[in-house]
Structure 1
Amino acid sequence: MKASAKETLFVVARSPFIASGVAVSHEGEVFLGLPRFPGMEKTISLARVNKSGEPIPFPGGSWNTWQKGQDGSRAFVMVNAIHLFRDNTLWVVDQGAPVGSQPEPGAQKLVQLDVKTGRILRVLSFPHAVMPSGARFNDLRIHGDLIFVTDSGLGGVIIHNLSTGTTLRRLSGQKVMQNDGVHLHKGIGGRILADGNGKRPDIASDDIEVDAGGTWFYFAVPAGPLKRIGVADLLDMALTDDQLAQKVEIVAEIPSVGGTCMDTRGNFYLADAENSRITVLSPEGKRTTLVQDERLISPDALFIDRERTLYIPCPQLQKLAFLNNGRDEVHAPFLVLSIPLPRSVDGIPLGEGVEG
């Protein structure tokens, strides 16, 4: 089956602020990540969606009201990603500074919250050796006790062990983690993204997945290609970053994507920003379109809930001025859409969401 009609997509939320991340609790509550992009200075950063599809500040109080000049160590400053895993707690990736500025000490952090009460369970920030100047948290996955976070500033992956408290920085600044200058970040119709002066985005390791077995670590810059390396290799401290780089494999060429997710059968779901669609890429390399719709403008970080529903935020990022030749053409409301996953699509069996 191939879904292409608008009726296959349901509107989950309408946000007055750019919504680029979505996560759904085991009880079905929907949470949104709302980054502080230009024009979005008054964003509430993190929200729970009410029954009317409106975002409500979560957890509330000073966490949702940061303004320039304020301390960012106990408030959300630039929420780049959110995710929810097997233990039903919400993780937030905060870059700690809006686009074009540097994070103050403690502002760039990972925050874990109780989805029912909003209680802050953990705040993780790392020293300069782990997050040097120019490093930017991007996206996060968890497998067992290990947190994996991509660095889209310099390129690299941070691996933190929740049990031991140890933290590794791997593949730091390696070319395999950076854009190669050949794969260009594009939008609808193949338009090359750039600001009013022709400057193109230079985003290093961004999208990230860890398979259900915890065997492979997958990553990509937004323009591709999709790559992978063994988790065991990343954890092997006898291997240098140069040696690790030699072990990175190219999995597939992909279009420019805003986000990905993965299922328990090893399928990748690609948020195709060039064609306003969600593509399924099977472990055997077969591809098909799950859904295509003109509302999928810069589809971003994808999420599969326990009911096998795929959630798709549509933040319109390619219409922001710094990606749209200097013209700001984003417009509210910013939609979050969903589609129930079939058991198969065009002969590709589909699985459950990977919970970590």
Structure 2
Amino acid sequence: MMAGLFVALLGLSTSLAVALAPGLELAYSLNRATQGISISSDGRKFLSQRYSTSDPPQAVELLSDNSTRLYPNAAWNSYNSSNPDSNPRRTFVSIDGARIGPDGRYWLVDGGSQGVNGSSKLVGVNLTTDAVDKLYYLDSIIASSSSVDDVRFNAAGDVAYLSDTAGALLVLNMTTGHGKRVLANDDSATAWYPMMYNGTLVPGYGPSGNTLQVGLDQIEVSPDGVYLYYQPCNGGLYRIKTAFVDATLTNSTLETTLGDYAEPFALTPSTGGTTIDANGNIYVSDTNLLAIWKVTPEGRATVLVQDNALLWTDLMWVTADKKLWLPASQMRPGANGLMAKGPNYIFTYPIEAGPAPIDHA
């Protein structure tokens, strides 16, 4: 147990409570930078924790006594790049996305490390047995520059879509394990301008003066399964019919021309994360204004809530009680690219719908 890593705030400080926008409520405060939250249909809560400059990424379950445990176990969270006995095929190297899928599994996207075979993978944890029972290695699909980030699923649950921030989309047949990398360097998947945070351009990881540009990252699927929505981190939301995307697995022509079917959908801002509700509304975090946007199924984009506490909100979640869960990861520009600074909050905000039926259990 790591009880010290997680503290639930039952009594909020007056200064923070007064500062919050109407409807925005503080659910938890964490000592460790938390990228995302996933909540199962029976109320179990799982956190992906990263963006620390000193601690490795980890997945944890929040228990009823507000302590946490490494999930699914300590072994999966034990990767050590300096230890030659550490197996990147059976440990989390870089947890970049996490989601409870329509099949009820807790799916974790391991972006891995470039040049480390077996480190880039999609890991499915059975929530009944708390054991990994599905595992897809992505080495044969990705490019040398790839960084796999997030995952969503088609209506049938047999195709996974994974974003590649190098500017591409991975399409994976979950029955056969066969996959394709599509939209590579397509205009719709490319970051044309640096990201912004709180009024400034985000510094990159390169030489002084370099800025951060992140390709295709956020993805969502419409509640009826007809459309896949996607965008680079710098914003600009597109949509494309899933029938075309799925067909790239067997149609070599569509594989190379898929971008021709992409439609501009909404002019969204620099974004940390997205989610979608049962009515088809997409929620987009704004890293510049520190806000959450709502994009309707018609493409109308408005600011839903803004608060300075919403620092780089990332992997959001919608629950059946019509709440939008907002993990403010605290990732922000620093002297060494991006870094997180505590305290790290998870908020909730009321919305008008529950989760999309094919989005998560």
Q: Does TM, normalized by the shorter one, top 0.5? A: yes
Match of 2:358 in 1: 355
- Give yes or no for the alignment of 1:335 onto 2:360: no
TM-score, with length taken from structure 1: 0.86
Question: C-alpha root-mean-square deviation of aligned residues, in Å?
Answer: 2.2
Q: Does 1:219 align with 2:230?
A: yes
Match of 2:299 among 265, 273, 285: 285
Kindly indicate whether residue 65 of structure 2 is the aligned counterpart of residue 55 of structure 1: no
Distance 2:45 2:22 in 1: 21
Change (3 A) 1:104 1:37: farther
Residue 314, structure 1, aligned to residue 328, structure 2: yes
- The match for 2:131 is 119
**Partner residue of 1:131 out of 124, 142, 146:** 142
Cα displacement string for residues 160-219 of structure 1 (whole angstroms, at most 9, x for unaligned residues):
122233322222232321112xx331011x211014711111311100011112211111
Give the distance between the partners of 1:256 and 1:304, measured in 2 at CA.
Answer: 21
Alpha-carbon deviations, 1:80-133, whole Å to 9, x = none?
110012222100001113xxxx251111111000224421111110233x1121
Flag the 1:174–1:285 CA change in 2: closer, same or farther, 3 A: closer
74, 77, 85: which is aligned to 1:64?
A: 77
Residue 13 of structure 1 corresponds to 28
Q: Is 1:235 paired with 2:246?
A: yes
Q: Tell me what 1:75 maps to.
A: 91
From the superposition, tell whether residues 264 and 54 of structure 1 become closer, same or farther in structure 2 (CA, over 3 Å). same
Q: Percent identity?
A: 24
Amino acid in structure 1 at the alignment position of 2:176: T
* 1:94 corresponding residue in structure 2: 110
The TM-score with structure 2 as length reference comes to 0.85
Structure 1 letter corresponding to 2:87: D
Relative to structure 1, is the Cα distance of residues 131 and 37 closer, same or farther in structure 2, using a 3 angstrom cutoff?
farther
Q: Structure 1 residues 105, 36: closer, same or farther in 2, change over 3 A?
A: farther
CA displacement 1:257-281 (0-9 Å, x = unmatched): 1011112222111111111221111
Find the aligned partners of 1:321 and 1:55 in 2 and give their Cα distance. Answer: 31
The aligned counterpart of 2:163 is: 150
For the Cα contact (< 8 Å) 1:25–1:88, is it kept in 2? yes
Residue in structure 1 matching 2:263, options 249, 258, 264: 249
Shift of the alpha carbon at 1:290?
2.7
Q: Is contact 1:226–1:254 with CA below 8 Å preserved after alignment?
A: yes
**Any stretches of 5+ residues in structure 2 without a counterpart?**
1-18
Structure 1: runs of 5+ lacking an equivalent: 344-349
Q: For 2:26, give the aligned amino acid.
A: V
In 1, Cα distance between equivalents of 2:151 and 2:297? 22
1:249 CA drift (Å): 1.2
Alignment counterpart, residue 275 of structure 1, candidates 289, 293, 297: 289
Change (3 A) 1:16 1:72: farther
